Each structure stands twice: as structure tokens, then as C-alpha cells.
Amino acid sequence: MLVTVTSRSRKEVVKGGIQLSENATVKDLKASIHKRTGNLYPERQRLSLPLISGQTPPTVLDGDKRLCDVFPEGSNHIVILKYLGPQVKYSTLFFFEYVGPLFIYAMFYFLPLYKFVGLPEKQVIYPVQTYATIYWCFYYFKRIMETFFVHKFSHATSPLSFVFRNCCYYWSFAIFIAYFVNHPYYTPVGETQMYIGFGLGIICQLANFYCHNILKNLRDPKGQGGYQIPRGFLFNYITCANYTTEIYQGLGFNIATQTVAGYSFLVVATYIMSHWAAFRCLVQK
Amino acid sequence: MAGLAILKRIYLAVYNWVVFAGWLQVLYWAVQTLRTSGYEAVYAAVERPLQFAQTAAILEIFHGMFGLVRSPVSATLPQIGSRIYVTWAILWSFPETRTSPIVSSLVLSWSITELIRYSFFGMREAFGITPSFLQWLRYSTFYILYPTGISSEVGLILTALPYVKVSEKYCLRMPNRLNIAFDNYFATLFTLASYIPGSPYMYTYMIGQRAKALAKAKKSA
């Protein structure tokens, strides 16, 4: 079959179209487009069908679908190509997001940085500050390990610009929180409160790890993708239990360390995760 | 709902003309004072109408958020943010800045710009007419008034800096139970720095708006 590839302004991207076998998939089409154009890597292509009047989100073409299944009966075989720009793997994105806070926090604990803002160096280091450093650094270490050994990602890539944007978010909050918890004038909470906080945090991190494993086992080993509803453990009661445990472990950290900085990060993160969870609930329904 | 549309129009018409009246007072008293007493007295003469008109503009953020007007929040927020900051966190908070000649350039730039803007929108909402002369003014005077206004804002913040540092006003120091601190001097420096990307952004936004408005006027002509 002959497939015509145009841009969103209906200019032909590949002159004369692309000739493909009847059984060809969208993936084959993307590979052919790449071969013909040279610079349009498959990951940077978003292919969709021409909009029917009144339709708002375009029908994006999924990689493994066969082309003959995708085109409506008797249509000219036209696909619209959107250039997505440079992409990175999700694992790359996550790695940079998490490695920053890991080192930044440790720097504020170990290095004499406060003299640069005219403050005296710490006279005493409270136990809670030491435990907080261990907790925080372990937390981001866990996240990095999960990125490479646990998580199975749905879409192959995400835009390069997300690296800059997301790192700003994670790294700025890391600086903000690390600065205040390790501050020479930091005021610790009572011992009981500290233990309750870290206790809650550790329990939730373990629960969170278990949730991630349940989610990992949901994905078809052949990488079919798509959303499925997780079952078992907390998922029987809560839709996105992995986010819930994430939020409560953050709460634990804040109960133990008690800073405005830490709580503000918790509020923002909760807000963001609520949006993701709402989207997922919608998809699962 | 036709009723809602009329209500919105009445509200916007009233809003624009009321704030216009505020800025008219600002301009009037500024010019009068400059002619009779000199620049040191300008702030004292315009303080109340200035605070009223400038603070009322906060409503415009909600107008954008709730779709009453088309302006994106990304353009209104920095503009109103910087205006409110200079009006309250600098001029009102640090009286030492009030006698500066920069207050005059600030107040004149702001009031002339806002008179054009509010009358333009007021005409449109109340009478349904957009006089081409007003439209030309609105999309041309910013070429001069944005630089003069922005430089005045920056100038006043710079004037206030030593007083910010010495007075410790609005500073929150540690130790405290919430383990939070706020250093006004540092925050003021940060605000000044934000003018570096912020000013070209606002200026080029207006240039873009001008192109759009002139293209639309040409098409309907």
C-alpha cells in the first residue's frame, strides 16, 4: 500500500509517499520514514490520522498496530507527522532527576557551606539531622535503583526539555530542604516525634516498594503496554497506592524534621501526583 | 447564556472605567505637584489613588483565570506582580524612597499607559467601539513607556536596597520552630535579577500583541 506522509499543515514530508507491504505495522512506517528522511528518528515521530471535522485530540497511531487495521475503510492512506524533538529514555530522565537531590542533600550535611551566606558553622549536629540525611539519600538511591531494575515504562521516551524542567523542580526543592534541615540554627523536634516520623516513612517506603513490584508484574513481558488495573495489597482499597505511600513517606520525613521547606515540597508533590492519579482513574474506567 | 454575557460586560465596563478614574487622579496630582511643589512631594500627592488603582489590578489575574478576558495569566502575572511589589514592598514599606525623582518617572509612565489601556477596554466593553486612535496609542506607546516604567521600577528597587538591608524589615530569622527563614535583602536582589529575563519577555509579548492587533485591524478594514 502507498502511504502519504504530511505535516500538520498538509505539506508532504516524504515526496511521493512510502510504499509498504499489506502487513506492515506503524513501526515499519516510522522506520521507513526515518530511512527516507535521515534525521527523523522513530522516537521523534508522532503519527496520527487526519482530523475528522469537529474532532479535537487526534487519533495517535500506536507502534504495533498494523496499517491496514488503522486506516478507515476506503480512505486515502494519509498520516500526519508531528516532530517531537529530541527525546530521552524515561530511565535517563529519572536518573538525572534523582541523582541531584542525592548529592545536593549530602553536600549540605557534610560540607561547610553556610559560611558563604555569612552564617557560623554548626556547633552541634542533632541525631535527627544525621538520620534525615541517611533517610533522604537512601530514598533517592532507592528511586534510582527502581528506575533501572524495577520500573517498566510505557512510552519509550520523553522530550529532552523535560530533563531541564523536572531537574529544576527536584533539585531546587532539594536545595531548599537540605539548606534548612542542616542549618546551624536548626531546631529539632522531640525524640518521640522524630521516631514516629521516620517510622512512618520507613513503613511507607517498604509499602511503596511492594506497590512498584505489583505494578511491574502487571506489564506484559512482550511489552504490549497499555493500562491495566492493579490488584492486591493496598490496590484493593486505593487506586494509585504507589502515590499514596509516596505521599505518606514524605509526611513521615516532615513529621521528623519539621521544616516549612519540607512541607511545601510535600504539598506540591501531592498536588502533582493527584493529577496523575486522576488521569489514571479516568483511563482505567 | 445571554444574561451572563451581559453581566460580564457590565462588570468589565464598570471595572475598567473605575480604575481609569483612579489613574486619572494619579496623573492629575502628579502633574499638579510637579508644577507647584517639585518631585519630592509627588508620592504624597498620589499615594491613595495609586494604591487603589494598582491594587485593584489584582482582579485582572482572576479575570484571566476565569476566562472573563482573553489575556493569558503568564502575561498578566509578571506585570501585576512587579507593580504591586514596587507599590507596596518598596514605596509604601520604605518611605526613604518616596522623595526620589524616579517616583515621578514611574508614576507618569504607569498612569499614561494605564489610562490608555483602561479607556481602550472601557470603550470596548461599555460602548462596543474600539477607536482606532486609542488602539494605535495602546499598541505604540509601550515602545517608550515600557522602558521608562521598567527602568523606574528597577531604579526605585535599587534606591531601596540599602534601607532593606539595614532595617531588616519583613525578615524572618532562625532559630524558630518552623525552621524557616526569609531574608528580604536576598529576596530583593532575586527580584531585581528577575527583571533581566522578565523585561525582554514582556516587551516582546507586547510587540507580538501589536502585530496581531494590526493584522486584525487590516483584515477588517
Interface check for B168 against chain A (CB to CB < 8 A): the answer is no
Contacts of A186 in chain B (CB under 8 A): 174-175, 179
Q: Does B174 sit within 8 Å of A187, measured CB to CB? A: yes
A54 or B210, which is more confident:
B210
B4 or B162, which is more confident:
B162
**SS3 category, B64:** helix
Question: How would residue A255 be classed by pLDDT, with cut points 50, 70 and 90?
Answer: very high
Interface check for B35 against chain A (CB to CB < 8 A): the answer is no
- Amino acid A225: pLDDT: 53
Interface check for A2 against chain B (CB to CB < 8 A): the answer is no
The secondary structure of chain A, three-state, reads CEEEEECCCCCECCCCCEECCCCCEHHHHHHHHHHHHCCCCHHHEEEECCCCCCCCCCCECCCCCEHHHHCCCCCCCEEEEEECCCEEEHHHHHHHHHHHHHHHHHHHHHCCCHHHHCCCCCCCCCHHHHHHHHHHHHHHHHHHHHHHHCCCCCCCEEECHHHHHHHHHHHHHHHHHHHHHCCCCCCCCCHHHHHHHHHHHHHHHHHHHHHHHHHHHHCCCCCCCCCCCCCCHHHHCCCCHHHHHHHHHHHHHHHHHCCHHHHHHHHHHHHHHHHHHHHHHHHHC
Q: Is B153 a catalytic residue?
A: yes
Q: Is the pLDDT of residue A237 over 80?
A: no
Range with the poorest average pLDDT among B65-69, B166-170, B178-182, B199-203: B65-69
Task: Write the pLDDT tens digit of every residue in B152-197.
Answer: 999 999 999 999 999 999 999 999 999 999 999 999 999 999 999 9
Stretch A249-261: mean pLDDT, rounded? 96
State the count of interchain CB pairs (< 8 A) between A and B. Answer: 29
Partners of residue A87 on adjacent β-strands? A159
Q: Does B175 sit within 8 Å of A257, measured CB to CB? A: no
**Average predicted confidence (pLDDT) for chain A:** 87
Q: Is B146 a catalytic residue?
A: yes
Which is catalytic among the residues B146, B168, B195, B205?
A: B146
Task: Write the pLDDT tens digit of every residue in A123-180.
Answer: 889 999 999 999 999 999 999 999 999 888 776 788 898 999 999 999 999 999 999 9
Measure the CA dihedral A261/A264/A270/A271, to 10°: -140
How far apart are the CA of A257 and the nearest CA of chain B, in angstroms?
9
Q: What is the pTM of this model?
A: 0.79
A 166-195: CB under 8 A from B? 180-181, 183, 185-187
B 175-204: CB under 8 A from A? 175-181
- Amino acid A224: pLDDT: 52
Q: Is the pLDDT of residue B82 over 60?
A: yes
Question: How would residue B214 be classed by pLDDT, with cut points 50, 70 and 90?
Answer: confident
ipTM given for this complex: 0.73
- Amino acid A285: pLDDT: 58
Q: Does A183 sit within 8 Å of B174, measured CB to CB? A: yes
- Amino acid A20: pLDDT: 83
DSSP annotation of B206 reads H
Stretch A23-41: mean pLDDT, rounded? 85
